[in-house]
Structure 1
C-alpha cells in the first residue's frame, strides 16, 4: 500500500474514533511530524478527507476537523443503502452483461485471496480497497441511472458515506478482519442475487451492506454491555 493510502486510512480512523477531536485544527507540518511522514501524503490525505466531509478547509490555512455525530454517520449510511439498494435492484431486473458479471466475479475472487492468512498486511488492505471500490462502482454504473449516480456523489461528501472510506483499526485487528470478511460474504451474496436476477434480495442485501462500516463498533458495544435489556 502506498504511504499516501496508509496515511489516509490512519487519519480517517483517528478522526472517526475521536482520537483527533472534532473542532481541532490540522496543519501539514505538525501532522506530518506526528505520523513520521513527509508533507506530500499529508496534503493528499487532507484533500480527500475534505471531500469525504471529515475536514473543513479554513479560510486562511490548514483544516478543521468536522464535528461528527453517530446520527450523522447513520443517516448518511442509510441514504447510501437506499440508493445502492435501488441500483442493485435495477441491475438485477435488467440482468448483468457478461462484462459486469466477470468484473464482479473478479472482485470477489481477488478479495477472497487476502483472507487465506491470519493477519492482513498493508498490501492486503490496498487490494480490498481497490476491488471493493470497483465492485460498488460496477453496480452503481450498471443501474444506468444518472439520478442515482449524482445522488450518491453528493451523499459521499458526508462522513463515512463513501464505499471508498476504508477504515482499519490495527488495535482491534481481529474484529476488523471479521468485519471485512463479513463484508466480503455480503459481496458474494449480492453477486449471487444479481446473477439470479432476484431484485428484491439484491436490494435488501445492498441496503444491509451499507452499514458494515459500523459493524466493528456494534460488536464492541454488544460485548461490553452490562447485560441489561
Structure 2
C-alpha cells in the first residue's frame, strides 16, 4: 500500500468550511452506496448537478476524498473512485486497532503526560457537546469526524513510537478506515446517533484506562472500538458486489 500525495483542500471564498465538509460527506455517501461505481471517473459537472451545487465546492471536495483513499488520480487533473473490497477495509481496520491498542498500552504503562490527558479530555468534551441535544444533525457528522481523528492521532503520536504512526497512516488510506471518515447516513438519524454515542463512550473508557495506567484494558478497548467501526458501515451488506482491481 502506498500513500497518496494530494494537494491541500482550499476552502476558498466561494465555499465555507461547513459547506465543504457537507459536500465531502455527501460524495462519500454516494461512494459507499455504490452510486459512484469502483473505477468510475468522477466528473465535477455531473456530481454538481446531482447534488444541485455549483462546481466549485465539488472541485474542492475531491482532493479531501483522495486524501482519505476513496479516490485516486486519473488523467492529468481528475479523479476516479478507487476499486477495493470489503475485506481490505476489514483487515485495515483490524490492523489499525492493533497499532492503536499498542500505543494506548504504551501510554498507560509509561504514564501519560497531563498535557496529553488534558487534550484527550478536550476531545471527550467536544463529543459530549455533540450528543447533549440527544440527536445527530448533518453537520454533527463532520464535527464528530474531526474530533475522532484528533483523538486517535493524540494517542498514536503520544506513544512516541514513530513506526506505529507510519503504519497506521498507511492503513488509513484504505477507504472508510480513517477515523476522519464516517458514513452512517444509510442507518438514519437514530441509528447514527446510537452508533456514534456508543463509540464515544468507548473513548471515555479508553481515556480512563490510560489515566489509570491500565495498559491491558486500554489495549483491549481499542479492539472493541474497531468492532464498533466495522459494524457501523455494514460492510457485508453494502459492499457485497465490490471486487478488487
TM-score range, shorter chain: 0.7 to 0.9
Given the alignment, which residue of 1, 23, 29 partners 1:7?
23
- Secondary structure in structure 1 of the residue aligned to 2:80: strand
Aligned residue pairs total: 221
Given the alignment, which residue of 86, 89, 104 partners 2:105?
89
Please list the CA deviations of residues 1-53 of structure 1 after superposition, one character each: whole Å capped at 9, or x if unmatched.
71111111111122122232212221112111211223232123211222222
Distance 2:40 2:135 in 1: 33
1:171 to 1:163, Cα distance in 2 relative to 1, 3 A: closer
Distance 2:156 2:110 in 1: 13
Given the alignment, which residue of 65, 68, 73 partners 2:89?
73
- Contact conserved, 2:38 with 2:82, CA < 8 A, in 1? yes
- Contact conserved, 1:175 with 1:216, CA < 8 A, in 2? no
- Secondary structure in structure 1 of the residue aligned to 2:35: coil
In structure 1, the partner of 2:137 is 121
In structure 1, the partner of 2:4 is none
Structure 2 gaps of 5+ residues are 1-16, 238-245
Shift of 1:125: 2.7
Shift of 1:220: 9.9
- Secondary structure in structure 2 of the residue aligned to 1:57: strand
Please list the CA deviations of residues 120-151 of structure 1 after superposition, one character each: whole Å capped at 9, or x if unmatched.
22343343223222211111111111101111
Shift of 1:172: 1.7
In structure 2, the partner of 1:225 is none
In structure 1, the partner of 2:241 is none
Pair 1:158 & 2:174 matched? yes
Given the alignment, which residue of 158, 169, 190 partners 1:174?
190
Q: Normalised by the size of structure 2, how large is the TM-score?
A: 0.83
Structure 1 gaps of 5+ residues are 222-229
- Contact conserved, 1:88 with 1:139, CA < 8 A, in 2? yes
- Secondary structure in structure 2 of the residue aligned to 1:63: strand
In structure 1, the partner of 2:120 is 104
Distance 2:154 2:98 in 1: 17
- Contact conserved, 2:86 with 2:236, CA < 8 A, in 1? no
Pair 1:46 & 2:62 matched? yes
Distance 1:44 1:87 in 2: 34
- Contact conserved, 1:76 with 1:160, CA < 8 A, in 2? no
Q: Give the number of the structure whose residues are more often helix, by fraction.
A: 1
